[in-house]
Amino acid sequence: MTYNKEHWKGSVITSPLPPTLVSCAHDGKVNVLTVAWTGILCTRPPVTYISVRPERYSYEMIKQSGEFVINLPTKDIIRAVDYCGVKTGAKTDKFAECGLHTEDAVKVSAPLIAECPVSIECKVREIVPLGSHDMFIADIVGIDSAQELLDESGKLCLEKAGLIAYAHGGYFELGKQLGSFGYSVRKNKKRRR
């Protein structure tokens, strides 16, 4: 299938994205905010990013501490994901309001979110001002995974997690797998008779 396309001015349309819960802590305060502007920048060393508006309550906490945790939420806490994206931690204890619980991280002072099956511990290496958002480029210093997501060999099976996606203003449950990395060039194994 081919498409007849209409040209628009540049905008933020890349979808779907992972709506994540980013937890942070500094000077005795903790907070959580929803961030969809996140992803992987490099494999070796493992580097990620989050983009945050400087006026957000969590911005200074992350900037001052130099740490944060990207928590991958599931469909079971989708209301908390939305709530943490529209309410400010300056006026609301979002953990209490959403029934979220913190756990200690191993490598950073920011907490993990107990209700998220995967948490990615991050240390900021650089802040890049981009306009409406600043990008926090960070080293991934640890990953905390629910044991329920590991198979017999210890491999992480994220398809078991019930993760969600965000696309053009809506939240979606991930669907069926359509392929795996490299399947288009993988040779079929010949069966022995």
Average pLDDT over residues 38-55: 97
pLDDT band at 190 (very low <50, low <70, confident <90, very high): low
Report pLDDT for 99: 98
Over residues 74-91, the mean pLDDT reads: 96
Half-sphere exposure of 27 (CA within 13 A, CB side): 6
- Mean per-residue pLDDT of the chain: 93
Query: What is the average pLDDT across 7-19?
Result: 84
**Measured between alpha carbons, how far is 101 from 62 in angstroms, rounded to an integer?**
19
Q: Which long-range contacts (CB under 8 A, 24 or more apart) does 168-172 make?
A: 168/13, 168/15, 171/19, 171/78, 171/81, 171/82, 172/16
- Distance (Å, rounded) from C-alpha 77 to C-alpha 191? 45
At 137, the pLDDT band (50, 70, 90 cuts) reads very high
pLDDT higher at 184 or 87: 87
Confidence check: pLDDT of 110 > 60:
yes
Per the CB < 8 A criterion, the answer to whether 57 and 31 are in contact is yes
Q: Which domains does the chain have, with CATH numbers?
A: 20-173 (2.30.110.10)
From CA 68, how far away is CA 128, in angstroms rounded? 16
Token pair 């008779």 is found at 193
Q: Say if residue 73 is exposed, middle or buried (CB neighbours under 10 Å; 0-12, 13-18, 19+).
A: buried
Which pLDDT score is estimated for 191?
57
d(CA 79, CA 19): 12
**Helix (H, G, I), strand (E, B), or coil: what is residue 192?**
coil
Is 90 exceeded by the pLDDT of residue 175? no
**11-20, 59-68, 107-116, 158-167: lowest mean pLDDT where?**
11-20
Q: Which residue has the higher pLDDT, 3 or 137?
A: 137
Element (H, E) at 97: helix 94-98
Q: What is the mean predicted confidence (pLDDT) over 15-27?
A: 94
What amino acid is encoded at 75 in this protein? K
**Mean pLDDT of the 33-56 span:** 97
Q: Sort residue 105 into left (φ over 0), alpha (ψ -120 to 50) or beta.
A: beta
**What pLDDT score was predicted for residue 177?**
79
pLDDT tens by residue, 142-163? 999 999 999 999 999 988 999 9
> What's the average model confidence in pLDDT over 122-133?
98
SS3 139: strand
With a cut of 90, say whether residue 127 has pLDDT above it: yes
